Amino acid sequence: METKTRITVLNHILALNLDVNIWSARKKLTPSDFGGSQLPPEELASLGSKRICNPEDLRIFGTLKSRAVSTLDRHGVRFLGGWGVPEKVGDEIVKELTIIQKEFMAAKDDFLNRYDEAVQDWVKQHPGWEELIGSSTVSAEYVRSRMGFKWQLFKLAAPEKGSVKKGLKDEVNKLGSTLFEEISKTATDTWNRCYAGKVKVTHKALSPLRSIHSKLNGLSFVDPRVLPITGLLQTAFDKVPPRGLIRGSDLLMLQGVVSLLRDPALLIKHGQKILDGNTAEDLLEGLVAVPTRTKIETISNNSLPTHVPQSATQQQIDSNGLW
């Protein structure tokens, strides 16, 4: 089923570019590093690189960059080489990035304050190679210039002329399919970590599903099939007992939900079914009987709970002029 996001989505979205630079602590090996040893010609083989500092001293910077990427993936969808994020959560995202940025800059200052010592420790750990390492060391100021954490957040407006806005329109068109693909990847990871082969789980297993729900809810304007899926997820949450282990029919229902989220085409199909009048309750009961990539065995619908909470009733969806 085709997914095509309209250009009007730009009224509700911000583009964010994350710009994080981390010094590699590597320098290219040169023939002189091998003291005149016979080496193959460059067209046959190329030399690699050498580390001039312990990579463990730089691990924190990669960790902080990963935290920033995870933050943006949690709220936004990949767009124009960065992320498209809902305008209404722009301030929240900036606050989270600012916290990570402060940690990054503090770690940078700490590393630079002990940079010379760190290089000497690395040399001592590799006796006999002092000259190889020492000949490639750089100043702390050089390292400072190679490390940074910043971002740019901006609002997009499509040009009036169709011919010049085509490129942007093509990228916007893909937002819906990109979102469903990202949900699929997250759900696959969730399945492998929390649900595969399990006969019981704790309520912690709901946490990644709630994150998916939050992301879909925030980006519901990119495709009309998104909001019905958030309703389906909320209905599933409402069916799970508030305390204790999750097992039996409740676990099977959640496994069916995760299986659905793993298949973008099936996810879009079910979102459309709700738009066409099917209820989330009916679809949840049918999930355990749908063949999916996770090969969940067919289970009688009679094993599923019959009580439907008031919050799970079908709601009218306002397009807000987006579809």
The pLDDT mean for the chain works out to 85
Strands ordered across the beta sheet of 77-79: 77-79, 82-86, 13-21, 148-154
The pLDDT of residue 262 is above 90: yes
**Stretch 70-92: mean pLDDT, rounded?**
96
Tell me if 2 is assigned to some domain: no
Torsion of Cα atoms, 200 then 203 then 205 then 207, to 10° = 170
Residues 90, 206 within the same domain = no
Confidence bin at 28 (pLDDT 50/70/90): confident
Residue 142 lies in a domain: yes
User: Does 209 map to a domain?
Assistant: yes
Answer yes or no: are the C-beta atoms of 184 and 264 closer than 8 Å.
yes
Closest by alpha carbon to 260, among 279, 235, 231, 284?
Answer: 284
Q: Does the pLDDT of residue 32 top 80, yes or no?
A: no
In this prediction, residue 291 has a pLDDT band, given cuts at 50, 70 and 90, of very low
Q: Which of 154, 189, 210 is the last residue of a domain?
A: 154
In which domain, by residue range, is 53 found? 7-34+45-154
Residue pair 233/216 in contact (Cβ under 8 Å)? The answer is yes
Residues 148 and 182 in one domain: no
Q: Tell me what the mean pLDDT of segment 57-65 comes to.
A: 97
Same domain, 222 and 300: yes
Which has the higher per-residue pLDDT, 43 or 145? 145
Reported as a pLDDT band with limits 50, 70 and 90, residue 299 is very low
Residue 73 lies in a domain: yes
CB distance 216 to 183 below 8 Å: yes
pLDDT surpassing 60 at residue 57: yes
**Which pair of tokens denotes residue 42?**
């460059």
Q: Are residues 182 and 127 in the same domain?
A: no
CA distance 232 to 235: 5
Task: Report if residue 159 sits inside a domain.
Answer: no
Average pLDDT over residues 73-87: 96
Residue 22 three-state SS: coil
| End-to-end Cα, the chain, rounded Å | 16
- Final residue of a domain: which of 154, 185, 213? 154
Among 154, 184, 202, residue at a domain's last position:
154
> Which helix (H) or strand (E) is 274 found in, with range?
helix 264-275
The predicted structure's pLDDT at residue 288: 63
Identify the bridge partners of residue 51 per DSSP, sorted by sequence position.
26
Residue 292 in any domain: the answer is: yes
Please indicate, yes or no, if residue 39 is contained in any of the structural domains.
no
Extract the tokens encoding 60: 């924190």
pLDDT in tens, 269-283: 999 999 999 888 888
How many domains, in total, are found in the chain?
2
User: Which residues touch 6 (CB under 8 Å, ≥6 apart)?
Assistant: 172, 322, 323
Cα angle at 66 between 62 and 69, to 5 degrees? Answer: 140
Q: List residues bridging with 78 in a β-sheet.
A: 83
Judgement on whether residues 14 and 82 belong to the same structural domain of the protein:
yes
CA distance 92 to 56: 31
Given this model, what pLDDT does residue 132 score? 81
Let me know if residue 162 belongs to a domain.
no
How far apart are the C-alpha atoms of 163 and 117, rounded to whole Å? 58
Alpha-carbon span 182 to 73, nearest angstrom: 9
At residue 35, the pLDDT reads 66
